Amino acid sequence: NAGVTQTPKFQVLKTGQSMTLQCAQDMNHNSMYWYRQDPGMGLRLIYYSASEGTTDKGEVPNGYNVSRLNKREFSLRLESAAPSQTSVYFCASSEASAGQDYEQYFGPGTRLTVT
């Protein structure tokens, strides 16, 4: 099992450009998450999807959109990148339903720089 995979690993964008970060998991998990991690800070939730077909905003959703394409894939889109979106982006998945194992499994991260 590959676990959680993310593409790309690194990306440099100019201000105003758009891009989509891809995430896929092969653990048959219901829930998937997108976080950003800035230096000296913890992970902040951007969006999450409790199950296929549903998405919900997290702490810092402004400037981002998501798509839960199917149970395996959850993508994050930056429509018009800004320097404030320079960060490391982590995707994660978990079972996360009542009474079940909540453990989150993280992808390797995407390091995004916006100039």
* Residue numbers at the binding site for other proteins (CB under 8 A): 31, 33, 35, 40-45, 48, 50, 56, 58-59, 90, 96, 102-104, 106-109
> Do residues 88 and 112 make contact, with C-beta atoms less than 8 angstroms apart?
yes
Identify which of 60, 71, 69, 15 has the alpha carbon closest to the alpha carbon of residue 34: 60
Place of tokens 């199917």: 70
Distance of closest approach, residue 104 Cβ to other proteins, in angstroms: 6
Q: Which residues contact 38 (CB under 8 A, 6 or more apart)?
A: 44, 87, 88
Select 16 or 108, whichever has its Cβ closest to other proteins.
108
Distance of closest approach, residue 109 Cβ to other proteins, in angstroms: 6
Distance of closest approach, residue 77 Cβ to other proteins, in angstroms: 20
Select 14 or 53, whichever has its Cβ closest to other proteins.
53
